[in-house]
Amino acid sequence: MDNEADVFYRELPKVELHAHLNGSVSCHTIEKLISRKPHLNIEHGMTAIGKGQRRTLEECFQVFKVIHQLVDSEEDILMVATDVIREFAADGVKYLELRSTPREEKNTGLTKKRYVETVIKAIKQCKSEGVDIEVRFLVAIDRRNGTEVAMETVKLAEEFMLSTDGLVVGLDLSGDPTVGHGKDLLPALQRAKNCGLKLSLHLSEVPSQLEESDLLLNLPPDRIGHGTFLHPEVGGSQSLVDKVVMNNIPLELCLTSNVKGQTVPCYSKHHFKYWYQKGHPSIICTDDKGVFSTDLSQEYQLAASTFGLSREDVWKLSLQAIDCIFAPDTVKQQLKLKWAAIKPQVF
- Catalytic sites, residue numbers: 205
Beta strands in the chain (DSSP E): 14-20, 93-100, 134-142, 168-174, 198-203, 223-226, 251-253, 282-284
Question: How many residues bind ligand 6MZ, per CB under 6 A?
Answer: 18
Nearest approach, Cβ of 105 to ligand 6MZ (angstroms)?
Answer: 12
Instruction: Tell me the angle at which helices 186-194 and 210-217 cross, rounded to the nearest 10 degrees.
Output: 20
Number of Cα atoms under 13 Å in the Cβ half of residue 202: 25
Q: Does 288 bind ligand 6MZ (CB under 6 A)?
A: yes
Q: Does 213 bind ligand 6MZ (CB under 6 A)?
A: no
Q: What is the largest CA-CA distance in the chain?
A: 53
Tell me which stretch binds ligand 6MZ (CB under 6 A): 9-17, 20-28, 160-168, 328-336. 20-28
Tell me which stretch binds ligand 6MZ (CB under 6 A): 19-27, 182-190, 274-282, 330-338. 19-27
Q: Does 209 bind ligand 6MZ (CB under 6 A)?
A: no
Among 38, 102, 106, 115, CA closest to 70: 38
Which residue lies nearer to ligand 6MZ by CB, 264 or 322? Answer: 264
Kindly tell me which residue out of 8, 9, 64, 315 binds ligand 6MZ, with binding defined by CB under 6 A: 64
Q: Does 256 bind ligand 6MZ (CB under 6 A)?
A: no
Among 68, 49, 50, 51, CA closest to 59: 49
Rounded distance between C-alpha atoms, residue 247 and residue 304, angstroms: 27
Which residue lies nearer to ligand 6MZ by CB, 100 or 301? Answer: 100
3-class SS of residue 202: strand
Measure the CA dihedral 231/234/235/240, to 10°.
-10
Q: Does 23 bind ligand 6MZ (CB under 6 A)?
A: yes
Which residue lies nearer to ligand 6MZ by CB, 101 or 294? Answer: 101
Of residues 133 through 172, those in contact with ligand 6MZ by CB under 6 A are 140, 142
Tell me which stretch binds ligand 6MZ (CB under 6 A): 14-22, 155-163, 236-244, 337-345. 14-22
Q: Does 197 bind ligand 6MZ (CB under 6 A)?
A: no
Kindly tell me which residue out of 14, 15, 16, 22 binds ligand 6MZ, with binding defined by CB under 6 A: 22
Among 20, 15, 1, CA closest to 205: 20
Nearest approach, Cβ of 95 to ligand 6MZ (angstroms)?
Answer: 19
Q: Which amino acid is at 68?
A: H
Which residue lies nearer to ligand 6MZ by CB, 92 or 225? Answer: 225
Which residue lies nearer to ligand 6MZ by CB, 118 or 297? Answer: 118
Which residue lies nearer to ligand 6MZ by CB, 107 or 345? Answer: 107
Q: Does 261 bind ligand 6MZ (CB under 6 A)?
A: yes
Rounded distance between C-alpha atoms, residue 253 and residue 17, angstroms: 10
DSSP secondary structure code for residue 48 in this structure? -
Tell me which stretch binds ligand 6MZ (CB under 6 A): 21-29, 40-48, 109-117, 312-320. 21-29
Rounded distance between C-alpha atoms, residue 327 and residue 208, angstroms: 33
3-class SS of residue 6: helix
For 88, 91, 176, the CA distances from 217, given in Å and listed in that order, are 30, 33, 19
Nearest approach, Cβ of 296 to ligand 6MZ (angstroms)?
Answer: 16
Q: Does 293 bind ligand 6MZ (CB under 6 A)?
A: no
Which residue lies nearer to ligand 6MZ by CB, 47 or 297? Answer: 47
